């Protein structure tokens, strides 16, 4: 009883921290995990998060010990702009936060924090956002041309927050994902292919995934392959299964994020397009190979993803045409995987 009272007394004097991140992609949120952890460690307390619902953060971050509450906000424009501002004001006011950190350059959470009377409002300060911040350690417009990880690292540095771990790490209790996904619990060696992407020009071709599977199967590197694919692009996984006529493919396009996490975590390694599941696999501690031909690999330097590129690949060049992915040959991908394993 005495220890409980001591803990409650200590917690009463801890700063209350809220961190806001407005990007909607799962992969982008995963990139921010080290910086969320660093802010929590800096203040020696759990943090609350405000994120977009599309990130499905409440499913994936439940087991992170430094995260307390997660709230969703739509961060809409137009007529609903001020509706969302006042939703944020309500969260900030009820939460009685000592600090609000904003990890991107949007004005909305900064305005809301000011209206809620938050004393410490800290953000990158790009553009008009700086009007609403209480700390004038701002990133420059030049800094904002860096990738997301470099921006966040600079943001922490100018606010005197130490960063001990730059690679995203996601802790999950895999047991809570098994219910409703019993069909994924097959016996034998499993691997996973991430066969879709938010941007089509980053997607490797279906026939190349089939060839890669043939090579890997001949080497007896798997018994089953999970095909990780969103429901809106389920035609990709179905095409792979239909054209290959192989029974070792398991279609996960009908699975929600809990099924995707279970499949990836049960895999010996993951091979896939530059997408949310690719970043998820690396953060989950699974050996991860990224198929990269049309976008920069320099953005992956703060990740444990092993990029595989065409022999003719030139970094820091965007090729917004899926045909560029044809330059990455299945035999090269196979050789790189075997070499790494």
Q: Tell me: do 133 and 254 sit in the same domain.
A: no
Residue 214 scores a pLDDT above 70: yes
Q: Tell me: do 153 and 58 sit in the same domain.
A: yes
Q: What is the pLDDT of residue 270?
A: 98
Q: Tell me: do 22 and 149 sit in the same domain.
A: yes
Rounded mean pLDDT, 114-135: 96
Q: Tell me: do 154 and 185 sit in the same domain.
A: no
Residue 27 scores a pLDDT above 60: yes
Cα–Cα distance for residue pair 181/113, rounded to 1 Å: 41
Q: What is the pLDDT of residues 127-138, one digit of tens each?
A: 899 999 999 999
Q: What is the pLDDT of residue 145?
A: 83
Q: How confident is the model at residue 13 (pLDDT cuts 50, 70, 90)?
A: low
Q: Tell me: do 259 and 193 sit in the same domain.
A: yes
154 in a domain, yes or no? yes
β-partners of residue 121 are 100
Q: Tell me: do 187 and 146 sit in the same domain.
A: no
104 in a domain, yes or no? yes
Of 92, 126, 158, the position where a domain reaches its end is 158
Phi, psi of 327 (to 5 degrees): -70, -20
Q: Which residue has the tokens 């407005």?
A: 22
Rounded mean pLDDT, 239-244: 97
Q: Tell me: do 152 and 294 sit in the same domain.
A: no
166 in a domain, yes or no? no
- Between 5 and 37, the more confident residue is 37
Of 132, 158, 184, the position where a domain reaches its end is 158
Q: Tell me: do 325 and 225 sit in the same domain.
A: yes
Rounded mean pLDDT, 250-272: 97
- Between 113 and 300, the more confident residue is 113
Q: What is the pLDDT of residue 148?
A: 86
Mean pLDDT score of the chain? 93
Q: How confident is the model at residue 5 (pLDDT cuts 50, 70, 90)?
A: very low
Q: What is the pLDDT of residues 67-110, one digit of tens each?
A: 999 999 999 999 899 999 999 999 999 999 999 999 999 999 99
169 in a domain, yes or no? no
Q: Tell me: do 232 and 289 sit in the same domain.
A: yes
Number of domains in the chain: 2
Going by the DSSP 8-state scheme, the letter that residue 47 receives in this structure is E
Q: Tell me: do 184 and 237 sit in the same domain.
A: yes
Name the residue range of residue 132's domain. 11-158
320 in a domain, yes or no? yes
Lowest pLDDT segment from 9-18, 142-151, 318-327: 9-18
Q: Shortest CA distance to 71 belongs to which of 18, 124, 118?
A: 18
Q: Shortest CA distance to 194 belongs to which of 157, 224, 166, 227?
A: 227
Q: Tell me: do 100 and 23 sit in the same domain.
A: yes
Rounded mean pLDDT, 167-196: 96
Q: Tell me: do 334 and 295 sit in the same domain.
A: yes
- Domain CATH number, residue 307: 3.40.50.2000
Tokens of 121: 């409002």
Q: For the chain, how many residues are written?
A: 341
Rounded mean pLDDT, 299-303: 89
Residue 311 scores a pLDDT above 50: yes
Q: What is the pLDDT of residues 289-298, one digit of tens each?
A: 999 999 999 8
Q: Coil, strand or helix: which one is 82?
A: helix
Q: What is the pLDDT of residue 10?
A: 43
């Amino acid at each position: 009883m005495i220890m409980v009272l001591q803990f409650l007394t200590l917690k009463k004097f801890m700063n209350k921290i809220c961190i806001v991140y407005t990007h909607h992609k799962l992969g982008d949120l995963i990139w921010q995990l080290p910086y969320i952890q660093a802010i929590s460690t800096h203040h020696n307390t759990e943090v609350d998060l405000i994120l977009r619902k599309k990130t499905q953060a409440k499913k994936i971050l439940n087991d992170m010990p430094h995260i307390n509450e997660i709230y969703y906000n739509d961060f809409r424009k137009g007529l609903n702009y001020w509706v969302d501002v006042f939703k944020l004001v309500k969260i900030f006011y009820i939460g009685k936060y000592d600090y609000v950190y904003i990890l991107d350059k949007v004005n909305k959470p900064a305005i809301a924090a000011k209206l809620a009377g938050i004393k410490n409002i800290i953000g990158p300060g790009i553009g008009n956002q700086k009007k609403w911040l209480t700390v004038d350690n701002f990133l420059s417009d030049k800094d904002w041309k860096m990738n997301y990880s470099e921006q966040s690292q600079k943001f922490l540095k100018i606010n005197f927050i130490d960063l001990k771990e730059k690679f995203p790490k996601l802790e999950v209790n895999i047991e809570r994902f098994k219910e409703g996904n019993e069909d994924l619990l097959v016996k034998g060696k499993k691997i996973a292919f991430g066969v879709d992407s938010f941007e089509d020009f980053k997607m490797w071709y279906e026939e190349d995934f089939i060839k890669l599977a043939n090579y890997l199967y001949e080497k007896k590197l798997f018994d089953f392959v999970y095909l990780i694919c969103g429901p809106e692009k389920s035609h990709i996984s179905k095409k792979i299964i239909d054209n290959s006529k192989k029974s070792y493919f398991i279609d996960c396009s009908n699975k929600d994020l809990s099924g995707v996490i279970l499949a990836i975590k049960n895999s010996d390694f993951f091979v896939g397009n530059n997408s949310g599941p690719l970043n998820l696999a690396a953060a989950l501690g699974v050996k991860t190979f990224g198929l990269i031909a049309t976008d920069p690999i320099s953005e992956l330097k703060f990740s444990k993803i092993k990029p595989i590129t065409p022999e003719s690949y030139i970094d820091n060049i965007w090729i917004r045409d899926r045909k560029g992915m044809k330059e990455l040959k299945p035999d090269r991908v196979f050789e790189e995987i075997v070499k790494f394993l």
